[in-house]
Structure 1
Amino acid sequence: MKPIINLLFVLILGIAPALAQQPKMMFGDTTALGRPFSKDPMVIKFKGRYLMYYSVHMPVKNDGDGMQGWQIGIATSNDLFNWKRIGEIAPEAAYEKQGLCAPGAIIRNDTIHLFYQTYGNGPKDAICHATSTDGLHFTRDASNPVFRPTGRWTNGRAIDAEVHLFNNQYFLYFATRDSSGRIQQQGVAVTSAKSSFDRSSWKQAADKSILYPQLPWEGMCVEGASIITHNKKLYMFYAGSYNNAPQQIGVAVSTDGINWNRLSNQPFLKNGKPGEWNSSESGHPGIFQDTDGKTWLFYQGNNDNGHTWYLSNLPIGWKTDGPYLIK
């Protein structure tokens, strides 16, 4: 019996680390593909409940013609850990024909303003705007797409919208490619605090990248900016490197919304170790501050090079020199 007991003990020891590292939140929308596949989380608290908007594929056609582009999924939760899918925002307008994804959301008065990107149009992908008073049904901005960058520093593409109010104006952070179409980088536009957010209201705030991949772990990509204000400073949680390269999360700080400095030359949140659920990446951050003052970092991860994709979260603490992961 001893060899069997010893074998069981070894197996238990081998499984325990994998079980221990599983996060409390593991959400994967299975409706489109029959397997967990959710990306680009954005969380808000609206009318007493949490809402999460995320990128998800449209259902596969009956003819088996593979994935059919992207749409935005909607899920709700009472505790930030257990989520239930309650709907989607599917392509509706002609400019969304190839898909829409990478949602960013803010609340102004009693209205949700959703900022998202068109998909599948290469350098012509751009940022769009829609509004909702219930979190489920959205009215498109008549001027969509509302923003694309210009200048020799960019190829004109704009994705991964993040809108944040700071110093009495709204900043629109977006990812774009350089003129060669190879390097993903961050840009920014601004509008007034009373803006309608339509196309005519946005002004590009810098004719250059505000954060460009420079560190080895960032590879050729800095994208997915998510912004929070703390102690009168802006903190940008961003994704470094392309998906599954691995993509990991870094943090930069700014006092004006345009000039940014990295807090470290190392990732703030690394990908997992081999065998862990996020060994392929910990990417595309979504920073969320709850009404109780607690801060949560939502992000995407997988361990199979993108065959599946889960969304999870981690609590964030603050000290004088910036954020830290609460373990």
Structure 2
Amino acid sequence: MNINRLVWIIMHVAANIKNYKFSVIYLLLMLIVSCRRSTEIGAPVVNSSNAVLPAPTKQLSIVPVKIDTLVNHPVLERGVIGEWDSTDVLNPSVIKFKDKYFNYYSGFDGKLWRTGVAVSNDGISWQKFVGNPVLAPSISDWDTGYIAGNGTAIYFAQRIYYFYQGINDRGIANIGLAVSDDGFHFKKHPNPILATGPAGAWDSDSVGDPFVIEKGEALYLYYLGQDSVGVQRLGIAKSVDGLHWTRLSNNPVLDIGAGGSFDENGLGEPSIAYQPPYFYMFYTGRASDEIRNIGYAISTDGIHWKKISTTGLISNKLRSEWFSKVICDTTLIAVGGGKWAVWFGGGNLPVPAENLNGQIGMLILDLGQQRDMTSFDANSDWSRSLVKSTDVLLGSFEIEGDLGKRSTWLGPKAHLTLATTDHAGNSMAGKPIIVEGWAPAQFISSKTGQYEPLTISISINGKIAAKRTFVSDDMFRIEILWPEIAQLLDHTGFVEMDMSADRAIVPAQFGVSKDSRNLSFKVTRIYFH
């Protein structure tokens, strides 16, 4: 179905209508399952890595997030009494597969959590699979406990990978994997793909709430970790195959809130949206009275996060009765124009884990930034943009000069993400990328006394696309043709452009000025031509 039609339908509908030894273990585990979506196979889990997502880090000051539309009724309801999902329907994970929306959700019958699937043409009207549930606790493996759900689905390597939470016979929660070719029938891997951390670690007692994204040539798993005293935080692991995972060395990446905040009692169930230049993390926050809401944090690299919300994303006046106490479990898909369709779990009973009268709702978030994402122009009116130029072109400095003659200095490394479709939906296919600026090769040589050429390299999605060498101070215009760009694009459709220079100067060190910035070259404009 056409995405614009999907957004129209949503607007139309909206307008018309858990871990100690065992009893204590069980209680804490209840906090890590249902609305708390919260090992490598054949080898121990590696506990740390310096791996990061391919973009520099920067502290952020603003973030545009707006609720565009909130559907006021559940889009996926509980089953009738006696069915496997009759008590709670929560933890949606929605993907596009075979031109339809597939929703992998957790159902609870009062005894067991299991995973089912529903299919939709528009994301609002869902048809549950007659063969549900598609995933249940095992009889004798590591996930023999009462949960086999709280998962996340991703289309990867021509198959659907579903990462889910399971509990073993000792009450320990780990993360497992089931794989499907058709979206309905799954085969489990025999061991957890991410087990608890070592004794004393921040995730030593339980791991759960997986959410996986693909970025570059790797998968990144965002997950909940719980320590021996029940404190919950969020961390990240990395993999190239979905089976063997390496924890990042700077875990945990997000902590619980301060006293009195909406997430002071715990946080989990992360979901990630990439709307360049930002990664947005939406997560469930638990207040002291167990009322839950969605919080969000932002990042420019997917690793280092800054919390934005202190009171939750959805205000009390926007809550319908059916999700008056609990809003959790977000999953999301871009629908164009900076807007994202978001499905979430909701309930009207503020209890820690289950029996919430849980059902699944939907809203549209507007993450648009009021700028042309297919270009960077120093002479644009950045006062109208919802983001800073230095966030868009990472590694750059504040724009300088008079109107019409503006430019920005770059350091030795810079990063820019370009969309290949503009805000109106027009494709940039067939157009070359032009990079215009000034290379101060002779200036750097004369001030440093080292007479060497200056080389500027440009990579797209990690592969060299252009290189230019300068021996004098020159204005430049570097052109990268579309056929070469097309070969380097990944599944996201974004152009991840890295620019680097092999020389730089700090003017203050050479008496040129008091300027202490590390400067390599200037850029005026980067655009599809």
- What TM-score bracket applies, with the shorter chain setting the length? 0.7 to 0.9
Correspondence 1:1-150 to 2 at 5 A = 23-31=72-80, 32=83, 35=86, 37-58=88-109, 67-86=110-129, 87-88=132-133, 89-92=135-138, 94-98=141-145, 99-119=147-167, 124-142=172-190, 144-150=191-197
- The whole-number CA distance in structure 2 between the counterparts of 1:79 and 1:48 is 10
Q: What's the counterpart of residue 210 of structure 2?
A: 161
- The whole-number CA distance in structure 2 between the counterparts of 1:236 and 1:104 is 15
- Aligned partners of 1:155 and 1:180 also within 8 Å: no
Q: What's the counterpart of residue 171 of structure 1?
A: 220
Deviations 1:80-113 (A, max 9, x none): 1111210222234622221311110111243111
- Across the two proteins, how many residue pairs are aligned to each other? 289
Q: 2:296 aligns with which of 248, 251, 275?
A: 251
Aligned-pair CA distance for 1:156? 3.4
Aligned-pair CA distance for 1:235? 1.1
CA gap of 1:274–1:186, structure 2 versus 1, over 3 A, is closer
Counterpart residue type for residue 253 of structure 1? I
Q: What's the counterpart of residue 313 of structure 1?
A: 362
CA gap of 1:154–1:189, structure 2 versus 1, over 3 A, is same
Q: What's the counterpart of residue 237 of structure 2?
A: 189
Q: 3-state DSSP class of the match of 1:211?
A: coil
Q: 1:277 aligns with which of 322, 339, 346?
A: 322
Q: 3-state DSSP class of the match of 1:150?
A: coil
- Aligned partners of 1:273 and 1:279 also within 8 Å: no
Residue ranges of structure 2 left out of the alignment (5+ in a row): 1-15, 18-69, 370-385, 388-529
Q: What's the counterpart of residue 5 of structure 1?
A: none
Residue ranges of structure 1 left out of the alignment (5+ in a row): 1-18, 59-66, 323-327
With 259-268 and 236-245 compared, the bigger mean Cα shift is at: 236-245
- The whole-number CA distance in structure 1 between the counterparts of 2:311 and 2:302 is 22
**Could you tell me the TM-score, scaled by structure 2's length?**
0.50
Q: What's the counterpart of residue 287 of structure 1?
A: 332
- Aligned partners of 1:237 and 1:287 also within 8 Å: no
CA gap of 1:252–1:100, structure 2 versus 1, over 3 A, is same
Aligned-pair CA distance for 1:167? 4.0
Output the aligned Cα RMSD: 2.7
Counterpart residue type for residue 279 of structure 2? L
Aligned-pair CA distance for 1:79? 1.2
Deviations 1:151-205 (A, max 9, x none): 5223331111111122432111111112312x2211111112xx1x22xx21110
Q: What's the counterpart of residue 210 of structure 1?
A: 253
- The whole-number CA distance in structure 1 between the counterparts of 2:195 and 2:316 is 31
- Aligned partners of 2:84 and 2:107 also within 8 Å: no
Aligned-pair CA distance for 1:269? 2.4
CA gap of 1:34–1:115, structure 2 versus 1, over 3 A, is closer
With 236-245 and 268-277 compared, the bigger mean Cα shift is at: 268-277
Q: What's the counterpart of residue 13 of structure 1?
A: none
CA gap of 1:71–1:22, structure 2 versus 1, over 3 A, is same
- Aligned partners of 2:269 and 2:329 also within 8 Å: yes
Q: 3-state DSSP class of the match of 1:95?
A: coil
Runs of 4+ residues deviating >6 angstroms:
none
**Could you tell me the TM-score, scaled by structure 1's length?**
0.79
- The whole-number CA distance in structure 2 between the counterparts of 1:82 and 1:36 is 20
Deviations 1:217-256 (A, max 9, x none): 1022110000111114321110001697111001111222
Counterpart residue type for residue 118 of structure 1? G
Q: 3-state DSSP class of the match of 1:72?
A: strand
CA gap of 1:22–1:251, structure 2 versus 1, over 3 A, is closer
Identity in percent: 25
CA gap of 1:74–1:178, structure 2 versus 1, over 3 A, is same
